[in-house]
Amino acid sequence: MKKRWTLAAMITCTLTCAVAQEEGRLLQTPKMTRAEFNQAAGYGKDADPDSYCYIVLDEPYAKDDAPDLTLARGIGDGAEKMVIKVNQSPVKMVSENLGVSSPYIWHNQKANLFMVFDTTRVVDYGESSILFGQLSIITPQAKEVYQARFSCLD
- If one counts every other C-beta atom within 10 angstroms of the C-beta of residue 68, the result is 12
According to the per-residue pLDDT averaged within each range, which of 51-60, 72-81, 101-110, 130-139 is highest? 130-139
pLDDT value, residue 4? 46
Cβ(94)–Cβ(108) below 8 Å: yes
pTM score, two decimals?
0.73
Cβ(72)–Cβ(84) below 8 Å: yes
pLDDT value, residue 88? 82
Q: What is the pLDDT of residues 76-111, one digit of tens each?
A: 877 889 999 888 888 999 997 665 667 889 999 999
Of 11-15, 29-33, 131-135, the poorest mean pLDDT is in: 11-15
Residue-range definition of the domain harbouring residue 135: 2-152
- At CA 41, angle to CA 37 and CA 43, rounded to 5? 90
Number of separate domains in the chain: 1
Instruction: State yes or no: pLDDT of 115 exceeds 90.
Output: yes
Stretch 98-125: mean pLDDT, rounded?
87
Using 50, 70 and 90 to split pLDDT, how confident is the model at 19?
Answer: very low
What's the rounded Cα separation, in Å, for the pair 153 and 40?
A: 21
Q: Which residues contact 36 (CB under 8 A, 6 or more apart)?
A: 85, 90
